[in-house]
A = this chain, B = another copy of it.
Amino acid sequence: MTYAANQAESAENDSINWSSGAAYVDGKFVPLAEAKIPVTDWAYRRSDVVYDVVSVWDGVFFRLDDHIGRFRRSIERYRFSPKETDEEIREILHKLMALSGLRSAYVAMDCLRGQGAPGVRHPAKARNYIVCWASPFSTLVPSDKIERGMHMIVSSTPRIPQVCVDATAKNFHWGDMNISMFEAEDKGADYPILLDLDGNVTEGPGFNVFVVTDGVVATPDYGMLEGISRKSVLEICDDLGLKLEVRRVSAKELRDADEIFVSSTAGGVIGVSRIDGRIMNNDRPGPISQKIRETYWAKRTSGWHGEPVKYDLV
């Protein structure tokens, strides 16, 4: 969209209710409720799409460069060619925040395959495009569950192997996660943690996993998304002088851990108090998990890796 078109549009924007969210769909800004994609789009029909999500807290984007950088690597990994540059994507995300007026938000960016002409089936023949949106911030679980610690199970469904679908290119292949979420609910837990085919910990639906044993923090090095929140935890462990190991983590190590916590754009760092029914730390998040959570939010509040939203864009 050109600058002139943007200006022409801005008078119109005043009369639209953007409070429940704002979206950008292939060049056009619309209220989130009107942001839709064709049922024939391969992004939906073949899950041929990559995405990323960045959070805004109190008017400040967190690690926006990291998220846009990872989004671009996902785009290249699966051979998409959207027209928007990284700088344009950044401006779109700022404008969505400005339109919505939200102070804290979950801000998504998707790159969709699109579709071919009728009868054409090859993904190389489609025009790729970008969809972004901002909606009110939400966390993996409500605040009372953050307080008491999340209850987790080890899923009986293994994570899709890295060699089949590259989890480091953020994607919507959640079939294993979806059915695992039902399994967790059936067992009275909040979330599942998925293992790989060799029985090592990978990730859960929207989060990375950390275990703490004898004061040492460990997190998987393979088979999962390389989370930006995970990266933040690694930096915080370094700051706090905690011993940290990035390596394979077995299911046994997870089940026997002193503490477990997860990292996610949807909440930062959240402690776990039960794993497969076993109660840890007197049924509350453990002390190291809590220290990392508090440090994470204290640093964010102080502007760490922050980029203030340009609310004056509209």
* A interface residues (Cβ-Cβ under 8 A, vs B): 20, 23, 25, 32-33, 35-40, 42-49, 78-79, 110, 113, 118-119, 121-124, 131, 133, 135-136, 138-140, 142, 157-161, 163-166, 171-179, 181-182, 185, 197, 205-206
Q: Would A38 and B36 be within 8 Å (CB), given that A47-B174, A174-B48, A175-B164 are in contact?
A: yes
Task: Name 30 interchain pairs, CB-CB below 8 A, sorted by A.
Answer: A25-B39, A33-B38, A36-B36, A36-B38, A37-B39, A39-B133, A40-B133, A42-B178, A46-B174, A46-B177, A46-B205, A47-B172, A47-B174, A48-B178, A78-B175, A113-B178, A118-B138, A121-B140, A121-B205, A157-B163, A158-B163, A160-B160, A160-B164, A160-B165, A161-B161, A163-B197, A165-B173, A166-B175, A171-B175, A173-B175
Copies of the protein in its oligomer? 2
- Tell me the nearest residue of chain B to A136, going by C-beta: B118
Which of A36, A79, A159, A177 has the largest number of chain B CB atoms within 10 A?
A36
Q: Do A172 and B44 touch across chains, with their CB atoms under 8 A apart?
A: yes
- For A157, the chain B residues whose CB sits under 8 A away are 163-164
Which of A79, A124, A173, A205 has the largest number of chain B CB atoms within 10 A?
A173
Q: Do B39 and A39 touch across chains, with their CB atoms under 8 A apart?
A: no
| Shortest Cβ distance from residue A113 to the other chain B in the assembled complex, whole angstroms | 8
| Shortest Cβ distance from residue A266 to the other chain B in the assembled complex, whole angstroms | 8
- For A122, the chain B residues whose CB sits under 8 A away are 181, 185
| Shortest Cβ distance from residue A172 to the other chain B in the assembled complex, whole angstroms | 5
- For A79, the chain B residues whose CB sits under 8 A away are 179, 182
CA distance A182 to B48 in the complex (A): 12
- Tell me the nearest residue of chain B to A33, going by C-beta: B38
| Shortest Cβ distance from residue A185 to the other chain B in the assembled complex, whole angstroms | 6
Cross-interface CB contact of A40 among B32, B118, B139, cutoff 8 Å: B32
Cross-interface CB contact of A178 among B46, B140, B161, cutoff 8 Å: B46
Which of A20, A163, A178, A182 has the largest number of chain B CB atoms within 10 A?
A178
- Tell me the nearest residue of chain B to A175, going by C-beta: B165
